[in-house]
Amino acid sequence: MKLQRMLCAVALAAALPLAAHAAISISVNIAPPPLPVYVQPEIPASGYLWTPGYWRWDPIAADYFWVPGTWVAPPAVGLLWTPGWWGWGGGGYFWHGGYWGPRVGFYGGVNYGYGYIGSGYHGGYWRGGVFNYNRTVNNISNTTIIRNVYNAPVAENHTRVSFNGGQGGVMARPGREERLANAEHHFAPTQMQQHHEQVAMRTPEQRAAFNHGAPTLAAMPRPAEQHGAEPMRGRPTDRPAGNVPPPPRRDLARGEGAPPVMAHDRRGDRPEATGQHGGAPMPQQMHAQQQVQPHAQAPMQAQPQPQPQPQPQRVEAPRGERPQAHQPQPGRAEPGNENRGGGNKNERER
């Protein structure tokens, strides 16, 4: 029995990296804990989108762990985030991974909050290559930096159920627009998002058995440098993954063939942003901005270079004369030979 469990754990561990963002899924017979209540951190810069926190399963520890919600730069202009979700089926709970796409698809009807109320996204929209933020559900206090904002009320049901179907789950089914969105071409989570989840899995304080469903670190401004006491090593950049090609810029940035909108989020019903669209930088400029943001990493200090050791000078003898060996004067140490113990014979004759 122990051998079977060990082999099962090894097989699940090998499948986990593939299951995170592919069609392979792992069935769990324990329902995920309720969603924790947390405060959204303030947006770090214009062009970032909120990605809510979620529970994931660690097959080695046989436990759920919480991945903190965070602000993320999308891999391309015009893309929106569809959160992952747990769904009951076939005698267990299966994880459906999140993705980027031109519109928000089905995410199980789970109310993740801050614009993700169970269907669609009510936290903002793209227009003219610039993202406009709804301040009602986004933590934006400095409107001199984030100028493309508006205010629109959003109805929240305040449920904390974290899964769809089964006993006690959300009984929601995808609508027509969500089914169409699910069938479109999707973009995988960025390298930063994947690393963010891996760090959370390695942090014991994020596990449900440790925090009893109430993680102390439930959200953070950017993908983690640190979860609990675990520092992040080899921090990747906010750049899109190399294997994820960005969509054609002319289709998403100029409004030509702009992504379709869902019935509840028609552009005609959207309030206009109060700022000028031209004043907000696009996500492609995020890398340059991160050098001046409060949370950017401090510049590395230059490492001191080793100083060259002084070498004895050689004097060329006139032609026809045999050079004489240099004889050290009594009481004086030769330059550069203080620690050589007198040197060898060849060095003295050179």
Cβ contacts of residue 193 below 8 Å, gap of 6+? 51, 72, 223
pTM: 0.63
CB atoms within 10 A of CB 225: 15
Rounded-to-integer distance, Cα 349 and Cα 325, Å: 5
Beta bridge partners of 66: 55
- Per-residue pLDDT in tens (0 to 9) along the chain, 350 residues: 334 433 344 343 333 343 344 445 689 999 999 999 999 999 999 999 999 999 999 999 999 999 999 999 999 999 999 999 999 999 999 999 999 999 999 999 999 999 999 999 999 999 999 999 999 999 999 988 899 999 999 987 789 999 999 999 999 999 999 999 999 999 999 999 999 999 999 999 999 999 999 999 999 999 975 454 333 333 333 433 333 344 444 344 344 433 333 333 434 445 556 554 444 444 444 333 333 333 333 333 444 444 555 554 444 444 444 444 444 444 444 444 444 444 444 444 43
Nearest-10 Cα torsion for 173, 178, 183, 184: -160
The gap between the terminal CA atoms of the chain, to the nearest Å, is: 77
CA angle 203, 204, 206 (to 5 degrees): 75
Contacts of 157 (CB under 8 A, 6+ apart): 111, 117, 118
